[in-house]
Amino acid sequence: MHNNTAISELIEAGKWISQRGWVPATGGNFSARTTTGFVVTASGFDKGQLGTHTFIQLDHNGDRSAGSAKPSAETELHLCMYKLIPSANFVLHTHSVAATVLSRVVKGHSLDLQGYEMQKSIAGNTSHLDTLSIPIFDNDQDIDRLSLLVSDHHLHTPIEYAVLIRGHGLYVVGRDIREVRRHLEGLEFLFSCELERLKLEGISAEAKV
């Protein structure tokens, strides 16, 4: 995939994601793997109003090859996800209310979802009876250290499609723009359902361990 194609697809995805309120203020960041390396959104831009000037181009080693804007502090975590998941060609990082709150309510190391038909929107999931587990990592301003934790987790429990950063948001991957958008929409629906279930059933944070 050429850089310009990837950037165009991320610009359109940004409009769609922004309309749903999943990237408030200038939060979130998006990236894609390309034939020459990677493209990633720069820091400080409204993700609903992206343009070619709001992207940085990186080579295969992650070094800047084009673009003068300030790189996102979380670029390293994007590159980590690509390294861990060779089939991933897109990473979307969002800050929805449901994802952010659930990542704090659940005290364990994963958000485990079961019983939802929408689980089948995630590649490789074929039944609501299966458990869909999204790993959760504590937030850390040291992105290199956080990336190392994600990599260490992957060694014993491979990450397939998404991770949650506690009190921060969601990182979701896909093989192409359609898949990553489907994964994002499916997971956001599941998160909203789970959050509503917890509120209705009155399950306390202490009970979700």
Bind-site residues = 93, 95
Strand partners, 201: none
Query: Which parts are annotated binding residues for Zn(2+)?
Result: 93, 95
CA-CA-CA-CA torsion sign (134, 165, 95, 144):
negative
Q: Look at the block and give the residue holding tokens 């509120």.
A: 199
**What is the phi/psi pair of residue 65, to 5°?**
-115, -20
